[in-house]
Chains A and B, each alone.
Chain A
Amino acid sequence: MTPIIEVHHLSKRYRIGRAQSYFSLRDSINHFFTKPLFLRNRPRQFWSLHNLSFQVEPGQVLGIIGSNGAGKSTLLKILSRITPPTKGTVDLHGRVASLLEVGTGFHPELTGRENIFLNGAILGMSQKEIRAKFDEITSFAEIDNFLDTPVKHYSSGMYMRLAFAVAAHLEPEILLVDEVLAVGDHQFQRKCLGKMRDVSRGGRTVIFVSHNLESIKSLCTQALLLDKGRIIASGSPQDVVSRYINNNLQENQVDTGRYPILAQDNSLTLLSFSLLNSRHKPSHTLISGNEIHWSASLKFNRLPQSFNFVIALENENNSRVVTIASQPSLSASVITKTGRFTLAGSCPGINLQPGYYRCAVGIRFNDQTVLYQPSLGFITIRDNSTSMYPGQNGLVRTDSVWHISHEH
C-alpha cells in the first residue's frame, strides 16, 4: 500500500527569547539605536522539530505522545499547513482537516445555524456538503430548538457540542486531532471517542495527539513518541506508551519541560514546577501516605485580583483522583508587584494506591483559567511496605486498626 502521509527529514526552527508574541514599533526603533547591528545578539534559535521522518498508511490511526515541548503541536501545525517547515518535506495524498481547536471562527453574534455554515467553511467543507449534513449535525449536537439563537446565549456545553458536531462531520481523508477530548463532560467525551472510532473504521487516516494514554492505547493502531523534537520510539501503542512512562519515570521530576509556559492572556508565566518528596527533594517516586511538597516559580506580568493554583493527579485510567487547590486569599497580600514569585506548598499525605499518576496543573487568574497543562509528567506512588494486605483496591487506601474478640 502506498502511504497517505510521507514525512521526510522535517525540521522546524523558531526564534525565541521574545516574551511577547507581537512587538511594538517603538521597541524595534529603540533596539535599533541602542544596539547597533554588529553588537546585537543573534536571536536564539530553537529547533522545535529535528529531522523527523515517518510514513502513515491509509486507514491507520497514529497516536503521537510526548512531554510538553516535544514538538507535537508544531508537527500538527505543519501537517495542516498552518506554518511552513524550515527544512524537509511532507506529502499528503488526501484532503486534510484539523481539529486543533473545535469551534474555530465561531462568532458569538451569529446564530447556531449561521455558525454551522461559517465554521464548516472555515474547516474546509463546501456549502453543498454542509447543507447535505445539516440535519445530522444539529441532531448530533442536540440543539434543534436553539438553531436560531445567537451562540453567545448558549451554555458552554451546548456551544462545545455544536462546535464538535460540525468538526465531527468533516469527511477528510486525513483527520488531525489535538486534545479535543480534554473538553466537555464525561458523557460527551465518550460520544467523541465513539465518533473518532467510526471515522477510523470508515477507512480514514487519523493523527491523534493526546495526553490521554488510555485512549491512545485503545484507539490507535500505531504510535510515535516525540522527545525534544525527535522521534525516540515508534511502533505499537502499547510499547510506545510504556516506553513513554518509563522515560518519564527515569527523569528526576515532574517539570515544565523545555520551556516556560506562558498563560493564554500573557498575565503570567509558569517558569518551573516540581513535586518534592517528604525530604523536600524533587522526586518521581513518592510513598503513599507520606507528605507531598511542591514548589513553583511564577513570573507575574500583571497584578492579579484573584489567583488560584491547582494541581491534579490522574491515574492510569485517566480518572482524576485528587485536586489540590491554593486558597483564594493567597495572592492579594503578597503579590503587590509584578515579577518572579516562588509558590510552595505541601499536603499531609494522600493514601493513593500504588501505581503511576499523571500530574496536571492549572492556573486561574481573576477567575479565568489562563493556563492548563494536562501533563507535566508522571510520578510513581510506592507502597509503604507495612500496609500490604490482600484484598485492598479502589482509588484510595487507608490505614486501619482492627480488633477481633470473642462474642460472649
Chain B
Amino acid sequence: MSYNYHIKPRTDLFSLDLKELYDFRELFFIFAWRDIKVRYKQTVIGILWVVFQPLVTMLIFTIFFGRLARIPSGSLPYSLFVLTGLVFWNFFANSLTHASLSLVENENIIKKVYFPKIILPLAAVVTTSVDLAINLAILFLYALYLGFTPSWQVLLIIPIGLIVIATAASGLGLLLASVNVKYRDVRYILPFFIQIMLFLSPVIYGSDLIDPSQRIFMAINPTSGVIETVRRLFTQSNFTFSPDFAVSALVAVVIFLIGLAYFRHTERFFADIV
C-alpha cells in the first residue's frame, strides 16, 4: 500500500512539509476557486464592484486630498497619482484581511477534516490577486486615457513588487489568522490597523514629503517601493532599483518567516479551540 501515516504528538515546531503542501495543491486551488465564485454572488452588479471600489475611492481622495488639501503629486495628475497607490495598497489590505479571517471562516471544515491549514490564508491571497489584475487593467487604461504611457520597465517592476506585497501580506496574514483563532478581537482591530497603515504608506502623498533622514521608515512598508517606482515610470524611462525596494523586500521576508513560524507553532491546536 502506498499510503502510510504515522501519527504522533506534535513536537516539531518550525517544519514546513513542502511535499504535503504539494499533495494538497488541488484543495488549495479549489479553495481559491470557491472564494472567487462566492465573493460576489447575491450582489446586484457582481464583479463590477471590483471596478467601482478603486475608482470611487480615487474620486473621493482626489477631491479631498488633491483639490482641498493640495497634496503635491509631482508631475502626475493627483487622480492618477493616488490611483497608482490605491491599486497596490488595496491588494495588500484585501489580502491581509481575507488571510486573517480565513481560518475562522472555515472553522467547520477545520474541525472535521485534516488538511494543512496553511493553504487557507495562502488561497485567500491568491483569490485577491484576481481583483488586483482587474485593478491593474483599470490603472493602465486610465493612465493611457490621460496620455501617460508607462515605460516598458513596469512589466519588470510590477511582478517583483507584487511578490514583495504578497509575501508581506501572507506573513502578516498567517500571524493574525492564528491569533484570530484564539482571540476574535483581530476582526475588530484589523480595520484600524489597516487604516493606520494606509496613512503610513505613500498612497495619498509621495514619500518626497518625508524628511530624507526618516525615509527609511517608509521603506519598511512593503507597498512603498513598488508604488513609488511605478509612479516614476509613468513619466521617466530611466529606471534604477532604489535601495527602498531592497529594504521592503527584506522586511517582507522577515515578516513572512515570523508569521510562518507562529502559524506552524499554533496550528496543531486550531481544531481544538477554533
Which residues of A are interface residues toward B (Cβ below 8 A)?
14, 21-26, 28, 77-96, 98, 100-101, 104-105, 107, 109-110, 114, 117-118, 121-124, 126-127, 173
* Chain B, range 152-198, C-beta contacts under 8 Å to A: 181-185
Interface hits, B1-25 → A, CB 8 Å: 1, 3-10
Shortest CB distance A54–B (Å)? 14
Interfacial residues of chain B within 115-172, with CB under 8 A of chain A in the complex: 115
Tell me, yes or no, whether B71 is within 8 Å of chain A by CB. no
3 cross-chain pairs, A with B, having the tightest CB-CB distances, nearest first? A81-B114, A90-B7, A121-B30
Contact between A95 and B3, CB atoms less than 8 A apart: yes
* Distance between A108 CB and nearest chain B CB, rounded to angstroms: 9
Contact A173 B3 (CB under 8 A): yes
Q: Are the CB atoms of B272 and A105 closer together than 8 Å?
A: no
Question: In chain A, what residue has the closest Cβ to B10?
Answer: A84
**A135 to B133 CA separation, bound complex (whole angstroms):** 36
Instruction: Tell me if B108 is interfacial: C-beta within 8 Å of chain A.
Output: yes
- A81–B115 Cα distance when bound, in Å, is 9
Q: Are A87 and B4 in contact (CB under 8 A)?
A: no
Interface size on B, residues (CB 8 A): 36
CB distance from B259 to the nearest CB of A (A): 19
> What residues of chain B lie closer than 8 Å to A101, measured between beta carbons?
112
A96 CB to nearest B CB, Å: 7
Expressed in whole angstroms, the Cα–Cα distance for A78 and B112 within the complex equals 11
B113 touches A80 (CB 8 A): yes
Given known contacts A77-B271, A89-B7, A104 and B183 CB-to-CB distance under 8 angstroms: no
Contacts of A28 in B (CB 8 A): 183
- For the complex, is B70 an interface residue (Cβ under 8 Å from A)? no
Scan residues 86-115 of chain B and give those whose CB is less than 8 A from a CB of chain A: 106, 108-115
A-side contacts of B182, CB under 8 Å: 22-23
Q: A122-B27, A123-B113, A127-B26 are in contact. Are A93 and B4 (CB under 8 A)?
A: yes
> A127: which B residues are within 8 A, CB to CB?
26, 30
The chain A residue sitting closest to B28, CB to CB, is A121
Q: Is the CB of B38 within 8 A of A109?
A: yes
Q: Can you name 10 A-B residue pairings with CB atoms under 8 Å?
A: A14-B272, A80-B114, A82-B271, A84-B8, A91-B5, A100-B112, A104-B109, A105-B108, A107-B38, A126-B26
A224 → B minimal CB distance (Å): 18
Complex: A84 Cα to B182 Cα, angstroms: 18
- Assembled-state Cα–Cα distance A101/B109 (Å): 10
With A82-B111, A92-B4 already in contact, 13 other A-B pairs whose C-beta atoms are closer than 8 Å: A22-B273, A22-B274, A24-B185, A82-B113, A82-B271, A86-B9, A88-B8, A91-B7, A95-B3, A109-B37, A117-B30, A118-B34, A122-B30
